[in-house]
Structure 1
Amino acid sequence: MTPVHARTGQRQPIDADPVLKLEGITKRFPGVVALNKVDFDVRPGEVHALLGENGAGKSTLMKVLAGKHQANEGRIILGGEEMAFENPKHAKRAGVVLIHQEQSLVPEMTVAENIFLGSLPKKWGNRVDWRKLREDTNAILETLKCSFQHDDLVGSLSIAKKQMVEIGRALVFTPRVVVFDEPTASLTDHEKPVLYDVIHSLCEQGVGIVYISHRMDEIFHLSHRISVLRDGEYTGTVNTCETHEDEVTRMMIGRSLELDHASKPTDFGENMLELRNLTVKRIFEDVSFNVRKGEIVGMYGLVGAGRSEVAETIFGLRTPVAGEVVLDGEVVNFRSTHDAVAAGIALVPEDRKDQGLILGMNCRDNMTLASLSSVSSGGFMKGSAERSVYDKYHQAMKIKTPSWRQKVGNLSGGNQQKIVIGKWLHTHPKLLILDEPTRGIDVGSKAEIHALVKDLAKSGYAVLVISSEMPEVLGLSNRIIAMYDGRVTAEFDGDSVSEDALVQAITGMGTSAPAAATA
């Protein structure tokens, strides 16, 4: 059992020789040095957190470890033996398993086939042993306390459930080191403790865990040690029980993070958006609220409460069976998202990779996707106009990329999100909807996006923010709409709401009808 600090409740560092050592790892890509002589090690039975801003090199370092990238310089030492992994399969056979931030599942295959992909159990004649496949998969799903079945198609699962399938893959092998890259980014509050139990179980078996996350509460709850990268270089390592969030933040970004505790504005304009008893069959019912010019309204609720679906309906992706959407004083009935964009609505979606970007396209072209008419003439694109748009938001949003020619798929999550936001800001919307705007983003980028949202509201934008993070909703919102099971259960003033009241509203406790609007 891992010793726990008596005063802080945090885990004491483990005194053991490392099961894994990375020495002097350097990785270069065209135009950029992603890693420069980075050292890192993991001890058996410990959780070693790896932190850094988006683009600091965390994921690149782990991809070198897992055989997806080959280092230009440096050594990988596993169990005292120097290794050179040619590919991820080679690394897995040696006992190094990477659970990707970007899901790498095959939607057309079943849960069982995805979990054992590349290592399907075989019987006589090299045929798949389907019975053993079912039994072994069911054992893994039971360990992870999953509600879905072994024969469900992965494409039919939610993002959170797909993440549990990814985690299930690690349990197939007998791992020596498991890397979790943002494992809770799409997990529900119910699923997170299950993941923590799996991590603790692996530690008790002597497995070394590398844990990458931007969620400080998780880092301080789970880890024994914390190492930090900044701009591709190793900054330092601290024992978790001997440090605090401010010190780790300074190591990550080179400065203390100044939080804006100023009181929120209360002087707003007329309604920009009003929903009147909006209903989509079997998803949400009788949803009513408003968003005024210059106001930030937060929507908070558990996964499955209907928040994203409400946003999609406003944006023309879903057709309501009842109710009205009123935009700037006029009832609208959008037949498509094109109609919504033309009317002045922008939606930054929850899943930036699948819904917000074309990963194989360069940064400039992604930035102008939602406003092609502004950068074209006579059916031909104007390169200079495209470049001007890109330069504007590249500078304003501090996007880190060596060139506009860089493929968006090669950028960090935070820089990808900035491009999605910039793309929609160039449409000059009346209403900006942000669905999980800082999911999987480091503290520095998160603070920048929060400041941007507040500045947009001050300049007159009506902003609707959907978030699963309570601190984000409380810190940004002038008002908060709580949803549970497809219904609005309460509406709160953003400055006076308590965390307890908000939790009760999103779990259906003690609320039988929506609270009266405070505005």
Structure 2
Amino acid sequence: MNAIPEDTGALPLLELRDITKRFHGVAALAEVRLRVRAGEIHALCGENGAGKSTLMKVVSGVYPHPDHGGDYGGELRFEGEVRRFAGIADSERLGIIIIHQELALVPQLSIAENLFLGHEPARLGVIDRLAMHDRAVALLARVGLRVSPDTPVGELGVGQQQLVEIAKALAKRVRLLILDEPTASLNETDSDALLALLLELRAQGIACILISHKLKEVTRVADGLTVLRDGRSILSVDCAAEPLSESRIIQAMVGRDLADRYPRRTPAIGELLFELEGWRAFHPVQAGREVVKGVDLTVRRGEIVGIAGLMGAGRTELAMSVFGRSYGRRISGRARLDGREVDLSTVPKAIAAGLAYVTEDRKSLGLLLDESIAVNTSLAHLRGVSRAGVLDAPREHEVAQDFRRQLATRCAGVDQRVMHLSGGNQQKVVLAKWLFSQPRLLILDEPTRGIDVGAKFEIYSLIAGLAAQGCGILLISSEMPELLGLCDRLYVMNEGRMVAEFPAAGTTQEMIMGAIVGAGESAHV
């Protein structure tokens, strides 16, 4: 592996020298070194738990220095001077802005109010709402979000909220913008727009640290790259001087080659398992707005069925309305399992029928963050860890340990609180929770969002294994290569309707996009 090269050029904007950070005596970072120049997009890659987010929390002052516990060592230089941040306000005063993977927005406030929260434009001590609105319109245009600034953030999807976070950062004086998985919840079109925005910021002299597991994006825009593994800087590359390939990054991240991105499988597709007919759902707040419009859909035993579509197409709304009507109003249509109509009117009834839903928003909807891994694993199937209605704690612990091993979840133990896990490991706990319920139909909504390539393969293998056992899989993903690499059959959804259906074999990304924009076939192929 390459050592960190000596800097022979101009003074870097940010330089980290032998940064070390420990938690309860366990090293999360060990002598990490990194340099970022002004006007550079610097990618930071590594498996979940490698220390990427921890390192950026050090840079942004989330973890203060000094911390009086002796657990933080090394030197942080910004604009050539040694800096010690007592908190995030200190780093923001220098123009270091971090956007975390889990967003920090107030759902009840409007987009404009979120953008300027704490630094509202004012006249004579009174908030200037007209100026705030006009500036919000301009910022939203820069990130390509065509939504009224008066819209409550709580009404936006996860991907749209990510764009609001980026606009919020742009509202401040930015010298170094840190983005933790900014495109994880975005489809390819919106991701492309975001990457174009980063290139525009680079041209304006703004530096960016981009944490991403999407290696195609990294190789496309990065000027420099650092790979962390087990809390150490393993590889550092000046992309203008050295060739950078996805395989080289993967090998540095996981310490081995990955011959295939997707597991090889021979589908054993059986009889019809699940069917939707004429499924409709209306927006929970805007009473006259239909978001799912007469959807027909089938899944067979052992089949992996994908749903492609742009952000706002209605994919998540469809999944949530089916899973116990957890989204929407005036829901109608028929749902059948094994040819018999089934009652999915509540979440408990949906679970009892054999459905499971892995939500894309793991923190708000998928986990109890203040509880342990063991507690979260058993949540959806308490009967499986109970005797005569009394919780069997040793059994709960045993089940959690089994899933920890199966999913290779990185943690101190199953008694660890979920809030202290990395995003990817939290997602593994969500998967464990629903797998323990032994579902007949597993609905996966962006299951690999924010997960590294090594862990993705583990989850892909798990999905393939479930299908081989006869479980039906309905997979929603914004990554078209993922859909094409995993699925047997694909639906394309646009504006609440299914506009096309394709066999995965022989289908291209261009065909899917053609169906989405109306340029291709809108019929069964």
Q: Does TM, normalized by the shorter one, top 0.5?
A: yes
Matches within 5 A, 1:64-463: 64-70=58-64, 72-124=72-124, 126-241=125-240, 242-259=243-260, 264-281=265-282, 282-317=290-325, 321-463=331-473
Instruction: State how far apart, in whole Å, the 1-side matches of 2:115 and 2:157 are.
Output: 16
Other-structure match for 1:55: 49
1:80, CA displacement in angstroms? 1.0
Structure 1 unaligned blocks of 5 or more: 1-12
**Worse overlay, 148-157 or 84-93:** 148-157
Unmatched runs of 5 consecutive residues or more in structure 2: 1-6, 66-71, 283-289
Cα gap change, 1:373/1:263 in structure 2, threshold over 3 Å: closer, same or farther?
closer
Is the contact made by 1:264 and 1:478 (CA closer than 8 Å) also made in structure 2? no
Q: Per-residue CA shift, 1:235-281, capped at 9, x if unaligned? A: 02013351211111100000011216776434322111122232335
**2: CA distance, partners of 1:132 / 1:321:** 40
Q: Does structure 1 conserve the Cα–Cα contact (< 8 Å) formed by 2:45 and 2:253?
A: yes
4+ long deviations beyond 4 Å = 260-264, 318-322
Match of 1:9 in 2: none
CA shift at 1:15, angstroms? 4.8
**Alpha-carbon distance in 1 for matches of 2:9, 2:277:** 61
Q: Distance in 1 between matches of 2:432 and 2:170?
A: 40
- By how many angstroms is 1:143 displaced? 2.7
Equivalent residues of 2:188, 2:479 under 8 A apart: no
Q: What SS is found at the alignment partner of 2:382?
A: helix
Residues 262, 486 of structure 2: 8 Å contact kept: no
* Cα distance, 1:417–1:353 mapped onto 2, change above 3 Å: same
The 3 A distance-change label for structure 1 pair 31 and 447 is: farther
CA separation in 2, counterparts of 1:246 and 1:118? 44
For 1:323 and 1:156, locate their aligned partners in 2 and report how far apart those are by CA, in whole Å: 24
Q: What is the TM-score with the length of structure 1 in the denominator?
A: 0.91
Q: CA deviation at 1:121?
A: 3.2
Q: Secondary structure at the match of 1:368?
A: helix
| Mapped contact 2:302–2:468 kept (Cα < 8 A) | yes
Q: Match of 1:77, SS?
A: strand
Q: 1:501 to 1:172 in 2, by over 3 A?
A: closer
Inter-partner Cα distance in structure 2 for 1:14 and 1:199? 26
Corresponding residue number in structure 2 for 1:21: 15
CA-CA distance at 1:378 after TM superposition? 4.9
Mapped partners of 1:497, 1:209: distance in 2: 36
Q: Quick one: structure 1 residues 311 and 158, their matched pair in 2 at CA, closer, same or farther if it must change by over 3 Å?
A: closer
Segment of structure 1 superposing worse, 46-55 or 480-489: 480-489
Q: CA separation in 2, counterparts of 1:372 and 1:31?
A: 35
SS at match of 2:237: strand
SS state at 1:465 partner:
strand
1:362–1:404 Cα contact (<8 Å) kept: yes
Task: Specify the SS of the correspondent of 1:468.
Answer: coil
Distance 1:136 1:254 in 2: 47
**What residue in structure 2 maps to residue 515 of structure 1?**
524
Q: Any idea what the Cα deviations from partners look like across 1:414-471, whole Å, max 9, x if unmatched?
A: 1111111111111111111111111111100111100111111112211111111111
* Offset, 1:31: 5.7
Structure 1 contact 300–483 (Cα < 8 Å) conserved: yes
> What's 2:494 paired with?
484
| Superposed displacement of residue 478, structure 1 | 1.2
2:50 counterpart letter in structure 1:
A
Output the amino acid matched with 1:49.
Answer: A
Q: Contact 1:184 / 1:192 at 8 angstroms: preserved in 2?
A: yes
The DSSP-based 3-state class of the residue aligned with 1:422 is helix
When the two structures are aligned, how many residues end up with a matched partner?
Answer: 502
Q: 1:92 to 1:262 in 2, by over 3 A?
A: closer
Structure 2 vs 1, CA of residues 451 and 382 (structure 1 numbering), >3 Å: closer, same or farther? Answer: same
SS of aligned partner of 1:35: strand
- Change in CA separation of 1:329 and 1:91 when aligned onto 2, cut-off 3 Å: same
Partners of 1:159 and 1:14 lie apart in 2 by 42
Q: Any conservation in 1 of the 2:76–2:83 contact (CA below 8 Å)?
A: yes
> What's the offset of the Cα at 1:101?
1.2
- Give the match's secondary structure for 1:386: helix
Q: Partners in 2 of 1:424 and 1:147 — Cα distance?
A: 35
CA contact (8 A) 2:321 2:331 kept: no
Report the Cα offset of residue 473 of structure 1. 0.6
Distance 1:284 1:387 in 2: 40
SS at match of 2:493: strand
Q: Report the CA distance between 1:321 and its aligned residue.
A: 4.8
Is 1:465 aligned with 2:465?
no
Q: TM-score, normalised by structure 2?
A: 0.90
Q: Deviations over 1:121-180 (max 9, x none)?
A: 3443x4434444334333323333432233332222222222122112222222221111
Cα drift, residue 380 of structure 1: 3.6
Percent of aligned pairs with the same amino acid: 40
Q: Which residue of structure 2 aligns with residue 474 of structure 1? A: 484
CA distance in 1, matches of 2:264, 2:253: 28
SS at match of 1:143: helix
Structure 1 residue 355: deviation in Å? Answer: 1.2
